[in-house]
Amino acid sequence: MVSQLTNYLKAGYTGLWIVSHEEQRVAQDVLEACKAAKRRCLHWDVNNGFSAADGKACPKGGAGDPNAALSLLHSEDTTLILWDFQLWLKDPGPGLVRAFQQAFALGKGGKGHSCAYIVVAPYVKLPPELEKQFQVVDFCLPDRARLAGIVQEIAASGGLTVDDPAPLLDAASGLTTQEAADALALSFVESKGQKLDPKVVSREKATTLKKNGLLRVVETKVKLDDIGGLGSLKTWVCDRRHAFTPEARAWGLPNPRGFLLLGIPGCGKSLVAEATSSILGVPLLKLDAGSLFGSLVGQSEANTRAVIQTAEAVAPCVLWIDELDKGFGGQGGQDGGTSERVIGTLLDWMDKKTAPVLVVATANDVSKLKPEFLRKGRFDEQWFVDLPTAREREDIWRVVTRKKGRTDCYTETELARLVSQTEGFSGAEIEAAFSEALYATYNLSPRPFHPPLDLMITVIMGTTPLSKMMAEQIKSLREWCHHRAKPATTPETLAAPATGKRKLLAS
């Protein structure tokens, strides 16, 4: 960050807007950059007016008056950090906008001395008159080396030694310096001074990420074995299970970009996203695409950058973009180009990303999906998750009964009957029918351990599957996906024979 800031200062940028929650780290890096660019570093804040970062004499006064901060003539090349200014710039009066225009003109130096103005805030909110004058700089979250320093500091202050800091660093990645320090200190207190606990740090990270409403850490135990059918897709994911290991990197295996799952609701797309993170052994961050769009000007773009920054800090990880169709369906150009800019930022990152972040995007309604997402090469693969075939329903029945503690509760003949009765059912509907039947079974006297076949069939017959209610939409989805997406189902010719005890793909 220091070298990037130094370059901006040396190049004569007069307005920088640094996006960060971390005032101290920013101040430290700006000071370093000023030293490298041979400039003086001053601060201004609403309560204290001017102060010098190096403790030397500095201009007096100016507290409470932003215009005063901007009208100072400098006796040497200077960088002025304007704390609190974002609060005025949310709704600036004409006087302040003009003061900035004049300050930028003077700040260019000309015959006198140059001055760069830096605003630091966790978001970007600029009046249109000043938009072009500021370069927006995203301040990176602390890297592992910096986090390692914090771990050592807190361990030392508690009289502890940490032999293997890696789990703590994994847990703290994606947090700001202060958040990481707080979470580590809390883990120390909760363990009554015995250790720094990665579990507590992970828990705190999950809470912290939830606060901004954009990303959620999903704790999942779903394995590929817990998914019935979708054989081709599972094999493809399984082939990438070592992709993020150092050995694979050293060998030259390319970083997987990610994949898009298109398909019918309730057929296992979310399960696949979860199982992918389990099989790769990396955390799963879930982004609700709709939450990116904020009401303030510039907020959506800032949210997108924040999500990217967090995903890269947590990397290696899986970033699951749920409901891509709803979140990025676009507002038909009625949002002043915000959705275009947000999508552009995200796609640009997906194209160029070098960090080990695998993107799994899920969508149900392809008609709402922006064509940009479907461009060849954007994802490694686009998969179509259709309603389960007979073989897949058999797998799903086995998975669902096992999940409810009723492994192999039906004979092969009974199972065949259930498979044929549930034609057109999604996995979610099969599971819901079995749960429904369990409730009815509990009230039988004597109470059997699993739903008898006739009761199970009655429940199934009383269910109208989505495939009946949405027959038209499903037909057009299938037609659309036919040439554009790969079927997640293993072709019948390649599928293993339905022996009844077929082993699902091992994870």
Instruction: Decide: is 168 part of the binding site for ligand ATP (CB under 6 A).
Output: no
How many angstroms separate the CA atoms of 124 and 103, rounded? 20
How many angstroms separate the CA atoms of 149 and 492, rounded? 55
How many residues belong to the site for ligand ATP (CB under 6 A)? 18
Comparison of 201 and 279: residue with beta carbon closer to ligand ATP: 279
Selected from 396, 456, 485, 488, the binder of ligand ATP by CB under 6 A is 396
How many angstroms separate the CA atoms of 340 and 371, rounded? 12
> Token digits for 241?
């299970």
- Exposure of 9 in the CB half-sphere (CA atoms within 13 A): 29
Comparison of 170 and 431: residue with beta carbon closer to ligand ATP: 431
Selected from 80, 169, 358, 399, the binder of ligand ATP by CB under 6 A is 399
The piece of 170-178, 222-230, 351-359, 369-377 that touches ligand ATP (CB under 6 A) is 222-230
- The residue sitting closest to ligand ATP, measured at its beta carbon, is 427
Residue 264 Cβ vs ligand ATP, minimum distance, rounded to whole Å: 7
Interaction residues for ligand ATP, span 318-377 (CB under 6 A):
362, 364
Comparison of 105 and 470: residue with beta carbon closer to ligand ATP: 470
Residue 432 Cβ vs ligand ATP, minimum distance, rounded to whole Å: 8
Comparison of 162 and 460: residue with beta carbon closer to ligand ATP: 460
Comparison of 42 and 428: residue with beta carbon closer to ligand ATP: 428
> Token digits for 100?
């900035």
Instruction: Decide: is 30 part of the binding site for ligand ATP (CB under 6 A).
Output: no
Selected from 49, 92, 229, 256, the binder of ligand ATP by CB under 6 A is 229
Site string for ligand ATP, 419-438 (x = CB under 6 A): --------xx--x-------
Comparison of 151 and 358: residue with beta carbon closer to ligand ATP: 358
Interaction residues for ligand ATP, span 93-122 (CB under 6 A):
none
Region for residue 57 given its phi and psi (left: phi exceeds 0; alpha: psi -120 to 50; beta: otherwise): beta
Q: At what angle do helices 23-36 and 2-10 cross, to 10 degrees?
A: 50
Residue with tokens 């190096």: 54
Residue with tokens 């700001």: 176
Comparison of 107 and 427: residue with beta carbon closer to ligand ATP: 427
Residue with tokens 């686009």: 382
Site string for ligand ATP, 251-290 (x = CB under 6 A): --------------xxxxxxx-------------------
Instruction: Decide: is 16 part of the binding site for ligand ATP (CB under 6 A).
Output: no
What amino acid is encoded at 419 in this protein? V
Residue with tokens 């990197």: 249
How many angstroms separate the CA atoms of 320 and 362, rounded? 8
| Contact yes or no for 322/286 (Cβ under 8 A) | yes
Comparison of 321 and 396: residue with beta carbon closer to ligand ATP: 396
Residue 265 Cβ vs ligand ATP, minimum distance, rounded to whole Å: 3
What is the three-state SS of 380-407?
CEEEEECCCCHHHHHHHHHHHHHHCCCC
Residue 400 Cβ vs ligand ATP, minimum distance, rounded to whole Å: 6
The piece of 73-81, 225-233, 368-376, 464-472 that touches ligand ATP (CB under 6 A) is 225-233
Closest to 179 (Cα-Cα) out of 219, 217, 207, 214: 207
Buried b (16+ CB within 10 A) or exposed e, 451-461: bebebbbebbe
Residue 269 Cβ vs ligand ATP, minimum distance, rounded to whole Å: 3
| Residue 241 neighbours by CB under 8 Å, 6+ apart | 279, 280
Q: At what angle do helices 177-190 and 198-211 cross, to 10 degrees?
A: 130
Comparison of 260 and 428: residue with beta carbon closer to ligand ATP: 428
Residues in contact with ligand ATP by the rule CB under 6 A: 227-230, 265-271, 362, 364, 396, 399, 427-428, 431
